[in-house]
Amino acid sequence: MKLTLGFSPCPNDTFIFDAMVNGKIDTRGLSFEYVLEDVETLNRYAEQGKLDVTKLSYNAFLKTVSQYALLHSGSALGKGVGPMLIAKQPLDLNNIADFKIAIPGVNTTANLLLTLAFPQAKNKTEVVFSEIESGVLDGNYDAGLIIHESRFTYAQKGLHKLIDLGDWWERTMQAAIPLGGIVIRRSFDKELSATVDAVIKDSLAYSWKHYPQLSEFVTAHAQEMEEKVMRQHIELYVNDFTTDLGTVGRQSIETLFDAAHKANLLEGGIPQIFY
């Protein structure tokens, strides 16, 4: 059976999916037609129901949970992995309502955390995540909401951290930070969903077995990123929760849904999250 699969070209995603899309493991009778897109494009695809299995932001999952069910493997979730709000110089967050802020997408979990922490921050502009630092440096925005490898590069570019929203979430909610997950169509039966879950775990195990070697699939899609940064990226965003969310991971996602519900960002009650 062939399934369409969407994930980003970021090292954490290519590291996870490399073995299963490139014939390096037994995929249990499944084949995958994959598309590589940035996470905000994948979020839009999810709203359109375009793919069978896809990576998406947990913020986008709030809006598509009736169409898709969450898998237990493949998630980007943990501690110390959250988005950061940065600026050219220290700014008073009491005035955040006046800031012009570059965000990596309205459907990103980063934007959800910013909204939960600072509901008064309304002046936001969507910018491709890799261009946010330069946009702030050029003075086009007062502040930028950075994700992915930007957390490793902003300081050396002379930018200042205003707040680590992941740290805010962990302190406020006493929970790990759910950033992105892997979902599958709810119309598929549980046996197929469980098989895809198992294949993702096997694919990830294959990549870890060969680490710290990075496959050509990972390095080719990381473009000009240094290998040191690729490994930092993988080691931060690919962890035990990625193999299996476990009780702590599942509770963190339920906490996120509950917080969104209380902030009137989720229609109806708390839905069934998993398959």
- Please state the residue numbers annotated as binding site: 55-57, 109-110
To the query of whether residue 148 is one of the catalytic residues in this protein, the response is yes
Query: SS3 of 116, please?
Result: helix
Contacts (Cβ under 8 Å, ≥6 apart) of 204: 15, 16, 19, 73, 74, 238, 242, 243
Query: Which residues are registered as beta bridge partners of 31?
Result: 2
Q: Under a CB-based contact definition with an 8 Å cutoff, are residues 70 and 253 in contact?
A: yes
77: amino acid identity, one letter: L
Q: How many CA atoms lie within 13 A of 215 on its CB side?
A: 21
Q: Under a CB-based contact definition with an 8 Å cutoff, are residues 240 and 246 in contact?
A: yes
Residue where the block lists tokens 């997950």: 181
Query: Which residues are registered as beta bridge partners of 181?
Result: 56
Query: Which residues are registered as beta bridge partners of 144?
Result: 86, 102
Q: Which of 95, 70, 32 is closest to 257 using CA atoms? A: 70
Segments of 73-203 assigned E as strands: 76-78, 84-87, 101-103, 124-126, 143-146, 160-164, 177-185
CA-to-CA dists, residue 148 to 13, 258, 273, angstroms = 11, 25, 25
For the chain, the 3-state helix, strand and coil shares in percent, each to the nearest 5, are: 45, 20, 35
Sequence ranges of the binding site for substrate: 55-57, 109-110
Catalytic residue among 148, 160, 233, 261: 148
Q: Which residues are marked as active site?
A: 148
